[in-house]
């Protein structure tokens, strides 16, 4: 029983694999590929503890391929090349027989490390499976990403996690000898942050010295140390602290923003991860109340990508303080959210004829573009006409925020449209 519970109950087949039905269910895309025996190079993207490593292992077993693994945390270019050389010796004559090279946390690989994989993937010496908690569009070099399919693994929901607990209690050789009752699971799930690995290891901690135990919320909160000081870049603290950081910016508190920034810096957080979050906040939380915020956040991302620690901390701090001190507006965020909801509810409404493109005579004969009014032909470069589908005429989507700049937007729109933008 030296191995932790999460390792002991790790699924060995697709039948034991919980969740991700869009990938490995009966009609899942990976299920179909596995049945065909053909697995392309792919990237598994999802939060910690949702089964990325497990799925990679299962795939290799299902298609009966040699399986090599590297961790981006402690592997260099030499390690990559050594594994590729070993894989080449086991590589079959056809792509479908290639060994699988699994790289955990591939987003931590440098450009040179990722470059060293390209030749092996291109020539079919290995089939690459990478696992990442970060958006591969930002963290995987384009040349490598273009040769991989990206599959998203979703967070476990409560039912998945409860099922995982029950299955572990029943099937694990050690836990099955104990009398364990799951009276309440909310606190257990909460402290795990949706991470299956952390959930199971917490359960094991609770029952380790007990022959009979009833799991309750009170028991979990009493026994589990909630205020972890250590900053874990792949665990719950990672997401909790960046959440506190962004909420401090949104709440216009530079003290809070700089404190949580310091927590991330002291924990060795990736500078680009921090800068990306500020980019999002600059648009979502500040928006057109201060458009310069997005420009500064973009420049910050570019600067820290070049500079790195320790100097990058100064640039990050400057941007965080600026964002916290900026006026706030989520009007643009709400507008696109509102528009997406309308699209989902109303479907693909037809583009009005006067707004349609008419590059051919037939289209012109069908009145495409007819009665369109060219704004620049009118006073102040404006003329009233409808730009929404007929069923959405006069539908309110964008509502300017209540701040100095967007109040000017509101006044401007009122002057043009009169009642249509009279909010």
| Portion of the chain with pLDDT greater than 70, in percent | 94
Distance CA 105, CA 111 (A): 14
- What is the reported pLDDT for 231? 47
Distance CA 370, CA 356 (A): 9
Q: Are strands 212-215 and 67-71 parallel, antiparallel or unpaired?
A: unpaired
Which residues make up the CATH 1.20.272.10 domain(s) of the chain?
236-325
* pLDDT category of residue 237 using cuts at 50, 70 and 90: low
- What is the reported pLDDT for 87? 77
State mean pLDDT over 47-67: 89
State mean pLDDT over 211-239: 69
- What is the reported pLDDT for 276? 93
* pLDDT category of residue 225 using cuts at 50, 70 and 90: low
CATH fold, domain 158-223, is Helicase, Ruva Protein; domain 3 (1.10.8)
DSSP state of 225: -
Distance CA 55, CA 17 (A): 8
Q: Please say if the pLDDT value at position 112 is more than 60.
A: yes
- What is the reported pLDDT for 169? 92
Packing angle, helices 236-250 and 271-281, rounded to 10:
40
- What is the reported pLDDT for 232? 52
- What is the reported pLDDT for 72? 75
Distance CA 336, CA 342 (A): 10
**Residues counted in the chain:** 423
- What is the reported pLDDT for 90? 66
DSSP state of 236: H
Q: Is 70 left (phi over 0), alpha (psi -120 to 50) or beta?
A: beta
289, 406 in Cβ contact below 8 A? Answer: yes
Distance CA 258, CA 140 (A): 29
State mean pLDDT over 205-224: 86
Residues forming beta bridges with residue 179, ordered by sequence position: 212
- What is the reported pLDDT for 93? 44
Helices (H), 208-330: 217-223, 236-250, 254-266, 271-281, 292-307, 312-325
Packing angle, helices 312-325 and 254-266, rounded to 10:
150
225, 202 in Cβ contact below 8 A? Answer: no
278, 270 in Cβ contact below 8 A? Answer: no
* pLDDT category of residue 229 using cuts at 50, 70 and 90: very low
* pLDDT category of residue 98 using cuts at 50, 70 and 90: confident
State mean pLDDT over 113-132: 89
* pLDDT category of residue 266 using cuts at 50, 70 and 90: confident
CATH fold, domain 343-421, is post-AAA+ oligomerization domain-like (1.10.3710)
Higher pLDDT, 363 or 215: 215
> Among 159-163, 322-326, 366-370, where is mean pLDDT lowest?
366-370
Which residues make up the CATH 1.10.8 domain(s) of the chain?
158-223
194, 235 in Cβ contact below 8 A? Answer: no
- What is the reported pLDDT for 280? 95
pLDDT digits (tens, 9 = 90+) for 183-203: 999 988 888 877 888 889 889
Most distant CA pair in the chain: distance in Å? 84
State mean pLDDT over 306-315: 88
- What is the reported pLDDT for 270? 84
For the chain, the C-alpha Rg in angstroms (whole number) is 27
CATH match of 236-325 with 1.10.10.10: no
The SS3 call for residue 180 is: strand
- Residue ranges of E strands in 171-235: 179-182, 212-215
- State the DSSP string of 20-41: -HHHHSTT-HHHHHHHHT----
* pLDDT category of residue 125 using cuts at 50, 70 and 90: confident
Query: Across all residues in the chain, what is the average pLDDT?
Result: 87
* pLDDT category of residue 230 using cuts at 50, 70 and 90: very low
The SS3 call for residue 184 is: coil
- What is the reported pLDDT for 299? 97
Higher pLDDT, 251 or 134: 251
Class of the domain covering 20-152: alpha beta
Higher pLDDT, 82 or 299: 299
Which residues make up the CATH 3.40.50.300 domain(s) of the chain?
20-152
Higher pLDDT, 373 or 363: 373
- What is the reported pLDDT for 423? 67
Q: Is the peptide bond before 310 cis (omega within 30 degrees of 0)?
A: yes
State mean pLDDT over 67-74: 82
State mean pLDDT over 138-144: 87
* pLDDT category of residue 244 using cuts at 50, 70 and 90: very high
- What is the reported pLDDT for 226? 47
- What is the reported pLDDT for 103? 92
* pLDDT category of residue 7 using cuts at 50, 70 and 90: confident
- The backbone torsions φ and ψ at residue 368, rounded to the nearest 5 degrees and listed phi first, read -65, 130
Which residues make up the CATH 1.10.3710 domain(s) of the chain?
343-421
pLDDT digits (tens, 9 = 90+) for 83-92: 888 877 766 5
Kindly report the pTM of this predicted structure. 0.59
- State the DSSP string of 22-88: HHHSTT-HHHHHHHHT----EEEE--TTSSHHHHHHHHHHHTT--EEEEETTT--HHHHHHHHHHHH
> Among 63-77, 263-277, 293-307, where is mean pLDDT lowest?
63-77
* pLDDT category of residue 227 using cuts at 50, 70 and 90: very low
């Amino acid at each position: 029983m030296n191995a932790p519970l999460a390792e002991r109950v790790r699924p060995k087949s697709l039948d034991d694999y919980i969740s991700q039905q869009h990938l490995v269910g009966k009609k899942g895309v990976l299920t179909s590929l596995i049945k065909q025996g053909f697995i392309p190079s792919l990237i598994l993207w999802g939060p910690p503890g949702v089964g990325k490593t497990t799925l990679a292992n299962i795939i290799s077993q299902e298609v009966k391929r040699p399986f090599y693994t590297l961790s981006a945390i402690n592997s260099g270019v030499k390690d990559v090349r050594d594994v590729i050389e070993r894989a080449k010796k086991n590589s079959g004559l056809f792509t479908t027989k290639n060994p699988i090279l699994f790289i955990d946390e591939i987003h931590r690989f440098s450009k040179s490390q990722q470059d060293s994989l390209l030749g092996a993937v291109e020539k079919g010496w290995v089939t690459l499976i990478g696992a990442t908690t970060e958006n591969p569009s930002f963290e995987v070099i384009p040349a490598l990403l273009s040769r991989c399919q990206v599959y998203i693994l979703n967070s476990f929901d409560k039912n998945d996690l409860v099922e995982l607990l029950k299955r572990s209690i029943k099937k694990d050789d050690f836990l099955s000898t104990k009398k364990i009752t799951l009276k309440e699971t909310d606190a257990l799930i909460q402290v795990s942050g949706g991470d299956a690995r952390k959930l199971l290891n917490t359960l094991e901690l609770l029952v380790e010295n007990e022959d009979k135990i009833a799991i309750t919320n009170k028991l979990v909160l009493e026994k589990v140390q909630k205020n972890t000081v250590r900053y874990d870049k792949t665990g719950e603290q990672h997401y909790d602290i960046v959440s506190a950081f962004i909420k401090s910016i949104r709440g216009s508190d530079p003290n809070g923003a700089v404190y949580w920034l310091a927590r991330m810096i002291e924990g060795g957080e990736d500078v680009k991860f921090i800068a990306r979050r500020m980019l999002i906040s600059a648009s979502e939380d500040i928006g057109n109340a201060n458009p310069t915020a997005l420009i500064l956040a973009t420049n910050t991302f570019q600067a820290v990508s070049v500079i790195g620690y320790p100097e990058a901390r100064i640039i990050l701090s400057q941007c965080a303080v600026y964002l916290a001190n900026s006026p706030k507006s989520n009007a643009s965020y709400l507008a696109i959210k509102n528009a997406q909801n309308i699209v989902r509810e109303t479907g693909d409404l037809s583009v009005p004829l006067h707004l349609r493109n008419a590059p051919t005579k037939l289209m012109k004969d069908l009145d495409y573009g007819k009665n369109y009014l060219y704004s620049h032909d009118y006073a102040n470069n404006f003329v009233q006409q409808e730009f929404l589908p007929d069923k959405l005429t006069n539908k309110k989507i964008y509502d300017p925020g209540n701040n100095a700049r967007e109040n000017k937007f509101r006044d401007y729109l009122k002057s043009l449209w009169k009642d249509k933008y009279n909010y």
